[in-house]
Amino acid sequence: AVTRLADYRVPEFLIEKTHLTFELHEGYTDVSSRLTITRNPQSTKADHLVLHGEQLELLSLAIDEQPLDAGGYQITPHNLTIRNVPEQFVLHCKTRIYPEKNTALEGLYRSSGMYCTQCEAEGFRKITYYLDRPDVMSEFETVIIAREGTFSTILSNGNCLSDTVRDGKRIVHWHDPFKKPSYLFALVAGNLVCLEDSFITQSGRQILLQIYTEAKDSDKCHFAMQSLQKAMHWDEQVYGREYDLDRFMIVAVDDFNMGAMENKGLNIFNTSCVLAHPASTTDTAFQRVERVIAHEYFHNWSGNRVTCRDWFQLSLKEGLTVYRDSEFSADMNSRAVKRIEDVSLIRGVQFVEDAGPMAHPVRPDSYMEISNFYTVTIYEKGAEVVRMLANILGPEQYRQATDLYFSHFDGQAVTCDDFVQCMEEVSGRDLCQFRLWYSQAGTPQLHISDSYDADREQYSLTVRQHTPATPGQTEKEALHIPLKVALYGSKGALPLVIDGLARGTETVLDICEAHQTIVFEQVAENPVPSLLRGFSAPVRVFYDYQLTQLRQLILLDSDGFCRWDAMQSLMRIVLSKAIDGEDNLAEQTVLIEVLKQLLADHAAMDAALLACMLDLPGEQYLASLYDKANPPAISWALTQLQYRLAMQLQTELLSCYQALQDNASGLSARAMAARSLRNRALAYLLHIDDEYYRDLAQQQFIQADNMTDQFAALRGLVHAEHAGAAAQEALQAFYRQWQHDALVVNMWFQVQATRPWGNVLQEVQQLLNHEAFDACNPNKLRAVIAAFANQNFAGFHDSSGKAYQFLADQIADIDQRNPQMAARLLAPLTHWHQFIDEHATLMRKALESLSQRELSKDVYEVVSKSLN
């Protein structure tokens, strides 16, 4: 069954008030609902009520206190239909559910004994019969009843009205004054401890902030609390958004399909996105906590106060909120590095998705299972679309437009189009063509060429745009692409003049045609173009750079992203030649020389940026540059180049490593930057078979006072081909030290699953039998199976095809318990068409073996679209 945007109809009924009572029993939970339902005045008259409901045991049903007998309603696996209902009535419904048997982690389930919920997108229908769609917004009251003494903490959305004990039962009553769709409902009951703090809003209200965890994790919440306070402050300063309820709660749970969930006033987090302590958490993970805490908090306005009309509009809240959290992170840390991380994700994953069978627009037209559409396209490309709008409008108008959006649509469920309309209204610009970014799938390609006329002092750029076909969309139109450029001369950026108008040294070209030429005047020398500055649009740029031009941009460009991008281009040229079996000595020489220069002068630049510039392009990204990529050739070229660079840059890498030793302590941005550069240097050095470097790593492993350094040493040793005994020792010591910390054990799994050499598949299979592995825990599945399939290119694409079949078999098994996770794990197999026939055939074979099985809707959608 396919759901289509074109079939959207307003709801026939509305639910003014939702009153829920949960009786938590060991083994089962009874849910009573009292729903105040009215006909929607905007709808054409329907006389029967169709509610959503799945896997529910109906105990009783009544309308206005009149019990309905079996003839009065009809139940199917997905719906409850009641015929001939009045204009306005109270529906009373009692259902029984089994949270302890809920392994899909959707609806009400138990994680390490604690009750928790995940209702987005369509999980509420597994709790009770309801109009489980985001355009039905209701005021919720929730009563939770449990045996006295069973749980210390019992939570739901909003304010706690009462908490009493009667007849051996604890009864807790919550009320959320803000109308919300069912996907934002949440309930938690468990034995938890709480870190409390507060925040004073810009209007002077004091908000109680609480982070709940299991007692063993109570020392790991301080960073999340600080991040929350920073996020609340930032949203007031940058968007004028103040928190609304008197209390904001966060709960950490072990078993969670995604990162976190923005339930109104009661965010539920995967432990991996909230817990942090310097001894056990890497800098990368600290930054993830800061970002996800902010993301969920920002949803309170972009998502909760203004929500989505239907799930095709998912990017309305996710794209906007990712853009907001990305700007927040850029303000808190290095802006250039944040941009580089965003772009790496877009290029390495989103462009790949766009080129595959699951390609879809930022606002899809249809889906079988909405859970499959929580994608990098909806989230990250969606954020890039909002970023383009923000850049087109400029900071003042963009702020006016978001103010208008939040005030005009407060309390409503709206569309992406409503958002763009606010941008249009404030700026007076026609964004008609720009709207195609929401409806047209695929990655636009810009082919750029240039010419210089010395006599006329004119430099022209010719831009051709083309978007390749995607499934179901063969014809593509020209998009409105903001292309930010600068021109570099021998002494730096040149002043730009177009049509007689001075445009400073950086300007945005509005590319709107399939073919367009821009002429720059008064250009005194043949310049080097700096293109797509700041990654001003999510497109691929093709321009034939000379090596000397790249060198100049790497050393001189004022845009940190562009310096990194020029370095990536240079590395890519070196690698492509190696992959194609061509001589690349000249290119390698330039690369080594420029890296030498940067490393020798490392104190002169942002260490975090230099660290990024040392990274070679990823395998996935390299593969995406080919019509038919050859996986072993790509892995081989990367390994060779890593070794070459390590050998040639030994002196510089080592002195950089040693020089940064003193700066690399504490959690300041400067210390984190120093650690990232230092550990990149160490990773390179470990590719050289030399006891001296292994000793360095072993010392760092033992002496480290923080997880970033300890883990970098472990990873360097395990991933180095010659470390042998040193690597084994470190692995054992690490497990011994951290076996009681689930999140660190996950890193221990991951470092083994991603080792780029040897018979990793066999080891991965052993890890699945390890005492610490748990196939029901999504973080463990991600640490072993997803890490192997997505981050171990050499291991996964082993020519035997065994790893492909292994993944398919695992997915079939996981699908029995957790369809959402199973479908997510499938992604690497869906890209079979990217690879040479030997590999493509084996990947398809694995997919076909899956298609022979009984599959969930989630996995079925991905498998069938991939084989089509």
Residue 647 dihedral angles phi and psi, to the nearest 5°: -65, -50
**Given the complex with ligand ARG, which of 325 and 709 has the nearer CB atom?**
325
**Given the complex with Zn ion, which of 281 and 321 has the nearer CB atom?**
321
Q: How far is the CB of 375 from ligand ARG (least distance, A)?
A: 11
Strand 187-190 to 193-200 pairing: unpaired
**Given the complex with Zn ion, which of 320 and 726 has the nearer CB atom?**
320
**Given the complex with ligand ARG, which of 268 and 336 has the nearer CB atom?**
268
Q: Considering only residues 289 through 318, tell me which ones interact with Zn ion, judged by CB under 5 A.
A: 318
Q: How far is the CB of 814 from ligand ARG (least distance, A)?
A: 15
Strand 13-25 to 138-147 pairing: parallel
Q: What is the dihedral of CA 555, 558, 561, 563, to 10 degrees?
A: -10
Distance from C-alpha of 777 to C-alpha of 818, rounded to nearest angstrom: 10
* 576: partner contacted, choices Zn ion, ligand ARG, none (Cβ within 5-8 A by kind): none
Which region, left, alpha or beta, applies to residue 381 given φ > 0 means left and ψ of -120 to 50 means alpha? alpha
* 565: partner contacted, choices Zn ion, ligand ARG, none (Cβ within 5-8 A by kind): none
Q: Considering only residues 638 through 697, tell me which ones interact with ligand ARG, judged by CB under 6 A.
A: none
Strand 501-502 to 528-530 pairing: unpaired
**Given the complex with ligand ARG, which of 375 and 708 has the nearer CB atom?**
375
Q: How far is the CB of 263 from ligand ARG (least distance, A)?
A: 9
Kindly write out the interface string for residues 281-300 of this chain, putting x where it contacts ligand ARG by CB under 6 A and - elsewhere.
Answer: --------------xx----
Buried b (16+ CB within 10 A) or exposed e, 766-798: ebbeeeebebebbbbbbbbbbbbbbbbbbbbbb
Q: How far is the CB of 401 from ligand ARG (least distance, A)?
A: 23
Q: Which of 102, 210, 229, 371 binds ligand ARG (CB under 6 A)?
A: 371
CB contact at 8 A, 121 and 69? no
Q: Considering only residues 161 through 180, tell me which ones interact with Zn ion, judged by CB under 5 A.
A: none
Q: Where are the alpha helices (DSSP H) in 240-368?
A: 283-298, 314-332, 335-345, 351-354
Residues binding ligand ARG: number (CB under 6 A): 14
Q: Considering only residues 310 through 369, tell me which ones interact with Zn ion, judged by CB under 5 A.
A: 318, 321
**Given the complex with ligand ARG, which of 283 and 296 has the nearer CB atom?**
296
Q: How far is the CB of 321 from ligand ARG (least distance, A)?
A: 7
Q: Considering only residues 688 through 707, tell me which ones interact with ligand ARG, judged by CB under 6 A.
A: none
Is there a catalytic annotation at residue 296? yes
* 257: partner contacted, choices Zn ion, ligand ARG, none (Cβ within 5-8 A by kind): ligand ARG
Distance from C-alpha of 676 to C-alpha of 664, rounded to nearest angstrom: 9
Q: How far is the CB of 811 from ligand ARG (least distance, A)?
A: 17
Q: Considering only residues 805 through 824, tell me which ones interact with ligand ARG, judged by CB under 6 A.
A: 820
Strand 206-213 to 247-253 pairing: parallel
Q: How many other CB atoms are found less than 10 A from the CB of residue 164?
A: 9
* 679: partner contacted, choices ligand ARG, Zn ion, none (Cβ within 5-8 A by kind): none
CB contact at 8 A, 584 and 574? yes
* 260: partner contacted, choices ligand ARG, Zn ion, none (Cβ within 5-8 A by kind): ligand ARG
Q: Which of 318, 369, 709, 741 binds ligand ARG (CB under 6 A)?
A: 318
How distant, in Å, are the alpha carbons of 530, 587, 603, 651, 680 from that of 551?
12, 11, 19, 21, 21
* Amino acid found at 382: G
* 210: partner contacted, choices ligand ARG, Zn ion, none (Cβ within 5-8 A by kind): none
- Per the residue annotation, which of 296, 380, 587, 652 is the catalytic one? 296
* 619: partner contacted, choices Zn ion, ligand ARG, none (Cβ within 5-8 A by kind): none
Angle (CA) 555-561-565 rounded to 5° is 70
- Burial class (CB within 10 angstroms; exposed 0-12, middle 13-18, buried 19+) of 234: buried
* 584: partner contacted, choices Zn ion, ligand ARG, none (Cβ within 5-8 A by kind): none
Distance from C-alpha of 430 to C-alpha of 480, rounded to nearest angstrom: 11
Residue 136 dihedral angles phi and psi, to the nearest 5°: -105, 105
Q: How far is the CB of 264 from Zn ion (least distance, A)?
A: 14
Q: How far is the CB of 620 from Zn ion (least distance, A)?
A: 24
Q: How many other CB atoms are found less than 10 A from the CB of residue 407?
A: 11
Beta bridge partners of 510: 482
Cα–Cα nearest to 556, from 496, 491, 612, 616: 491
Cα–Cα nearest to 55, from 105, 127, 4, 111: 127
Q: How far is the CB of 650 from ligand ARG (least distance, A)?
A: 44
* 687: partner contacted, choices Zn ion, ligand ARG, none (Cβ within 5-8 A by kind): none
Q: Considering only residues 488 through 527, tell me which ones interact with Zn ion, judged by CB under 5 A.
A: none
* 310: partner contacted, choices Zn ion, ligand ARG, none (Cβ within 5-8 A by kind): none
Q: How far is the CB of 317 from ligand ARG (least distance, A)?
A: 7
386 in contact with ligand ARG (CB under 6 A)? no
**Given the complex with ligand ARG, which of 292 and 656 has the nearer CB atom?**
292
Give the three-state DSSP class for 286.
helix
Distance from C-alpha of 454 to C-alpha of 338, rounded to nearest angstrom: 39
CB contact at 8 A, 727 and 755? no
Rg (CA), the chain: 28
* 421: partner contacted, choices ligand ARG, Zn ion, none (Cβ within 5-8 A by kind): none
Q: Considering only residues 183 through 202, tell me which ones interact with ligand ARG, judged by CB under 6 A.
A: none
Q: How far is the CB of 261 from ligand ARG (least distance, A)?
A: 5
Q: How far is the CB of 126 from ligand ARG (least distance, A)?
A: 12
Q: Considering only residues 111 through 150, tell me which ones interact with ligand ARG, judged by CB under 6 A.
A: 118, 120-121
- Helices 837-851/857-867 angle, 10° precision: 140
**Given the complex with Zn ion, which of 310 and 619 has the nearer CB atom?**
310
Distance from C-alpha of 561 to C-alpha of 530, rounded to nearest angstrom: 11
Strand 413-414 to 307-308 pairing: parallel
**Given the complex with Zn ion, which of 135 and 318 has the nearer CB atom?**
318
- Helices 802-817/837-851 angle, 10° precision: 30
Residue 316 dihedral angles phi and psi, to the nearest 5°: -55, -45
**Given the complex with ligand ARG, which of 295 and 694 has the nearer CB atom?**
295
CB contact at 8 A, 201 and 184? no
CB contact at 8 A, 510 and 519? no
**Given the complex with Zn ion, which of 319 and 617 has the nearer CB atom?**
319
Kindly write out the interface string for residues 234-263 of this chain, putting x where it contacts ligand ARG by CB under 6 A and - elsewhere.
Answer: -----------------------xx-xxx-
**Given the complex with Zn ion, which of 138 and 307 has the nearer CB atom?**
307
* 258: partner contacted, choices ligand ARG, Zn ion, none (Cβ within 5-8 A by kind): ligand ARG
**Given the complex with Zn ion, which of 321 and 866 has the nearer CB atom?**
321
Cα–Cα nearest to 187, from 244, 114, 294, 259: 114
Q: How far is the CB of 122 from ligand ARG (least distance, A)?
A: 9
Distance from C-alpha of 517 to C-alpha of 851, rounded to nearest angstrom: 49
Chain residues in the site for Zn ion (CB under 5 A): 318, 321
Catalytic amino acids? 296
Chain residues in the site for ligand ARG (CB under 6 A): 118, 120-121, 257-258, 260-262, 295-296, 318, 371, 374, 820
